[in-house]
């Protein structure tokens, strides 16, 4: 870890500098069509006094789990720009892909209904879980209520073939990759950077869960385009560091190109200690973090993404990777319906009266 100046002594951390940088980002985003899905409350901040005291840092949640559509979640930020592009291109149907319990697929279905588009979800049975709750509850129930057309497949190869067929047979289709993680989707997190800079607050570290990689890529691209140095940590819940690094780096570079920026994003800082046995498989540390967050702060995390990432954050504080007294902003990306899908694996000690 390299030492750095106290933030108050760094000219880049002056609120006026941040607001000027934010204005540059808003200007760069202006040409891109956007379908409005982000509403007041999304991106608001929740202080965590009890956990902060336990950890010896100042930990704050950025509430990207809060939203007006589809149950909320960070993919609404990406979908603003993705559906904006789809509608501009005259799309009538949207195809996307994810795991059976994909939050991204659920939010795509809801956002498409709001925008008058027909959602087709290619759901890959990639997680070794066949419990009734996983198969039918949580996001699958919500996908069904939204009237999404569900296409189940067993492998990534089958998914690619199904997507190719749908692209040829559906009416004016628009394809959104897994997690909405491409340069267009990442614009949603360039916008999030503009919002953070507009607030004038300084963070020693911004932490996000790393699933498909687009959120961290958008943050990296946003700060690079703004010309503001910011440490950003991606806590992977599936990929290894070696797998995730080129995905995030490429997505960040593509996003800067799309923005017309000549800036280069720094190499992504990724930690995979929280991935456990792999994507969609709950972990003891993740379950402990879910329990700690709701019992000490009244906020629910989820078993696939934010719980595992928060467990990794606790570990990173304890071993000094995240320095004591740091001001840390953790982006709560959502995933609440996953709690119902993973019910058999979430068995904290009961409190009996």
* Beta bridge partners of residue 47, listed in sequence order: 60
Question: Inter-axis angle of helices 214-226 and 241-259, to 10 degrees?
Answer: 50
Question: From edge to edge, which strands make up the β-sheet containing 149-153?
Answer: 149-153, 118-124, 93-99, 173-176
Which residues are bridge partners to 62 per DSSP? 45, 331
DSSP at 271: E
Find the catalytic residue in 44, 102, 212, 315.
102
User: What are the b/e assignments for 128-163, b being 16+ CB within 10 Å?
Assistant: ebeeebbeebbbbebbeebebeebebeeeeebeebb
Distance between CA 219 and CA 77 in Å, rounded? 12
How far, in whole angstroms, is CA 3 from its chain's centroid? 29
Q: Is 102 a catalytic residue?
A: yes
CB 51 within 8 A of CB 90: no
CB 186 within 8 A of CB 217: yes
Q: What does the DSSP 8-state code read for residue 195? A: H
- Provide the annotated active-site residues: 102
């Amino acid at each position: 870890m390299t030492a750095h100046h106290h933030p108050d002594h760094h000219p880049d951390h002056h609120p006026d500098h941040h607001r000027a940088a934010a204005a540059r980002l808003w200007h760069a985003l202006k040409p891109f069509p956007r379908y409005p899905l982000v509403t007041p409350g999304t991106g608001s901040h929740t202080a965590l006094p009890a956990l902060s005291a336990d950890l010896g840092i100042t930990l704050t949640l950025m509430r990207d789990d809060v939203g007006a559509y589809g149950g909320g979640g960070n993919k609404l930020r990406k979908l603003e720009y993705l559906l904006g592009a789809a509608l501009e291109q005259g799309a009538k149907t949207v195809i996307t892909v994810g795991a059976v319990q994909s939050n991204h697929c659920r939010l795509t279905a809801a956002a498409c209904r709001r925008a008058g588009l027909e959602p087709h979800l290619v759901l890959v049975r990639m997680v070794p879980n066949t419990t009734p709750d996983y198969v039918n509850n949580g996001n699958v129930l919500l996908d069904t209520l939204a009237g999404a057309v569900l296409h189940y497949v067993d492998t990534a190869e089958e998914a690619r073939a199904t997507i190719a067929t749908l692209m040829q047979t559906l009416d004016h289709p628009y394809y959104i990759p897994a997690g909405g993680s491409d340069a267009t989707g990442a614009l949603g997190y360039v916008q999030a950077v503009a919002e953070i800079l507009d607030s004038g607050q300084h963070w020693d570290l911004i932490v996000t869960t790393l699933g498909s990689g687009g959120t961290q890529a958008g943050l990296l691209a946003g700060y690079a385009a703004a010309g503001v140095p910011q440490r950003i940590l991606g806590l992977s819940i599936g990929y290894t560091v070696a797998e995730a690094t080129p995905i995030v780096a490429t997505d960040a570079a593509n996003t800067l190109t799309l923005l017309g920026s000549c800036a280069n994003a720094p190499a992504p800082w990724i930690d995979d200690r929280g991935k456990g046995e792999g994507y969609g498989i709950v972990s003891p540390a993740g379950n402990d973090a879910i329990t700690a967050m709701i019992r000490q702060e009244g906020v629910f995390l989820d078993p696939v993404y934010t719980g595992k990432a928060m467990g990794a954050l606790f570990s990173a504080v304890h071993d000094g990777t995240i320095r004591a007294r740091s001001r840390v902003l953790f982006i709560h990306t959502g995933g609440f319906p996953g709690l119902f899908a993973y019910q058999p694996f979430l068995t904290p000690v009961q409190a009996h009266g």
